[in-house]
């Protein structure tokens, strides 16, 4: 088979067609560059030169949405944004949220990043913009700390005490995100990386609760990305014990999740549940940052064997907010995939 471009390779994976080699995409936060658009762009382009992943997930600082609605953060270059103050202290305050113009403020800054990245890449690599679900944003506006135990506590109490106010807030956030993702795609992004953060897990809510407080808003944002012409939209179902069967139906082309968790479906099982492309297979918490090269290569081969390299993008199933995988492990992941593809796909 002729050598495909990165875009052709990712598009073929999405369609379930043959690929010359299995596409790979690693991503992780780099808190030290995420507060400065210039430093972030330089970092992305440097990583692109160094590793040449087939798809770029634009890693934006996790706080930008909440900054736009008035939350304040201190930026720790090692650990990322630390919440200082938040805007929703009681559920009724969701009624005060107003729709934002995403061409301005922190949203506008990310649209500009999408545009500048597109200008620098000139179509050589597809790239997707990271977007949190409205429910995730609503939780953090109410003081939920990224990755903390208490992330969902406020939402759980508002679901009981004042669901109408919560829905009002979710509607406002959704309307803003719908406009925002449209601008991102118009700026050149190939789609979005849409994450459910803590909420798409049975550990946090029931499927019925998710259907009421998240799913309609998820679908609205994802449909906007598709309608704007985004053709590479990934749904990140974060965490463990995930609602795979429910979320599989979302309008996306790719599903990214922690396939290495024993509490989530294996890649093999997930591939039987969906016709969408899967992205994952590498453990971002232990093997990638802490394992040796042989452990990384072994895990990559295991993921490739399970999927036969079909409808598949190899990479992590989530970010590791504390630790990036070392260079030799990223190269081991890449080389194992190239070797597997060479022996199994030709």
**CA 112, 145, 265, 288 torsion: positive or negative?**
positive
Whether 215 and 167 have beta carbons less than 8 Å apart is answered as no
Whether 257 and 317 have beta carbons less than 8 Å apart is answered as yes
171 vs 320 by CB, closer to Zn ion: 320
- DSSP per residue over 277-338, as a string? EEEEEE-TTTHHHHS-HHHHHHHHHHHHHHHTTSSEEEEESS--SS-PPPHHHHHHHHHHHH
CB of 103 to Zn ion, least distance (A): 28
CB of 180 to Zn ion, least distance (A): 20
Torsion of CA 132, 103, 129, 99, to 10 degrees: 20
Strand partners, 24: 314
CB of 284 to Zn ion, least distance (A): 9
- DSSP summary character for residue 151: G
Interacting stretch for Zn ion, rule CB under 5 A, among 15-23, 167-175, 186-194, 233-241? 233-241
Interacting stretch for Zn ion, rule CB under 5 A, among 26-34, 52-60, 65-73, 312-320? 312-320
The torsion region of residue 16 among left (phi > 0), alpha (psi -120 to 50) and beta comes to left
CB of 239 to Zn ion, least distance (A): 6
Q: In the set 97, 178, 238, 288, which binds Zn ion (CB under 5 A)?
A: 238
CB of 59 to Zn ion, least distance (A): 12
59 vs 111 by CB, closer to Zn ion: 59
- DSSP summary character for residue 214: T
Interacting stretch for Zn ion, rule CB under 5 A, among 106-114, 146-154, 231-239, 303-311? 231-239
x/- letters, 190..229, toward Zn ion (CB under 5 A) = ----------------------------------------
Whether 224 and 178 have beta carbons less than 8 Å apart is answered as yes
Q: Which two tokens stand for residue 243?
A: 């609602």
59 vs 238 by CB, closer to Zn ion: 238
62 vs 159 by CB, closer to Zn ion: 62
Interacting stretch for Zn ion, rule CB under 5 A, among 42-50, 155-163, 173-181, 230-238? 230-238
- What is the spatial distance between Cα 280 and Cα 258, in angstroms, rounded to a whole number? 7
Residues 256-285 that bind Zn ion (CB under 5 A): none
CB burial string 132-145: b at 16+ within 10 A, e below: bbbbbbbbbbbbbe
The angle at the Cα of 64, spanning 63 to 67, to the nearest 5 degrees, equals 85
Q: Within a 10 A sphere around the Cβ of 196, how many other Cβ atoms?
A: 26
CB of 91 to Zn ion, least distance (A): 26
CB of 148 to Zn ion, least distance (A): 14
Interacting stretch for Zn ion, rule CB under 5 A, among 93-101, 146-154, 294-302, 310-318? 310-318
Q: In the set 13, 178, 189, 318, which binds Zn ion (CB under 5 A)?
A: 318
69 vs 194 by CB, closer to Zn ion: 194
CB of 57 to Zn ion, least distance (A): 11
Residues 93-132 that bind Zn ion (CB under 5 A): none
Residue numbers of the site for Zn ion (CB under 5 A)? 238, 318
């Amino acid at each position: 088979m002729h050598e495909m471009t990165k875009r052709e390779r990712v598009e073929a994976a999405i369609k379930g067609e043959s690929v010359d080699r299995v596409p790979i995409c690693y991503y992780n936060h780099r808190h030290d560059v995420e507060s400065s658009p210039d430093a972030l762009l330089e970092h992305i382009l440097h990583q692109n030169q160094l590793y040449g992943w087939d798809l770029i997930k634009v890693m934006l600082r996790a706080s930008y949405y909440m900054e736009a609605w008035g939350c304040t953060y201190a930026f720790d270059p090692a650990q990322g944004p630390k919440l200082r103050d938040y805007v929703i202290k009681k559920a009724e305050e969701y009624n005060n949220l107003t729709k934002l113009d995403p061409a301005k403020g922190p949203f506008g800054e990310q649209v500009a990043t999408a545009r500048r990245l597109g200008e620098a890449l000139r179509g050589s690599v597809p790239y997707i913009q990271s977007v949190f679900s409205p429910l995730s944003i609503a939780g953090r506006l109410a003081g939920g700390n990224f990755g903390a135990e208490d992330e969902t506590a406020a939402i759980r109490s508002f679901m009981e005490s004042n669901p109408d106010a919560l829905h009002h807030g979710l509607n406002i956030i959704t309307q803003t995100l719908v406009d925002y993702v449209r601008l991102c795609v118009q700026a050149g992004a190939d789609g979005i990386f849409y994450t459910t953060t803590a909420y798409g897990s049975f550990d946090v809510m029931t499927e019925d609760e998710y259907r009421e407080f998240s799913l309609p808003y998820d679908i609205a944002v994802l449909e906007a990305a598709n309608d704007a012409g985004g053709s590479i939209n990934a749904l990140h179902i974060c965490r463990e014990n995930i609602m795979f069967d429910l979320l599989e139906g979302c309008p996306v082309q790719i599903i990214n999740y922690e396939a290495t968790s024993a509490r989530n479906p294996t890649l093999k099982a997930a591939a039987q549940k969906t016709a969408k492309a899967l992205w994952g297979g590498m453990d971002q918490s232990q093997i990638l940052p802490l394992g040796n090269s042989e452990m990384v290569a072994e895990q990559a081969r295991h993921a490739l064997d399970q999927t036969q390299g079909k409808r598949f993008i190899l990479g992590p199933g989530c970010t590791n907010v504390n630790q990036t995988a070392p260079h030799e492990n990223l190269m081991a992941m890449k080389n194992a995939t190239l070797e597997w593809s060479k022996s199994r796909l030709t």
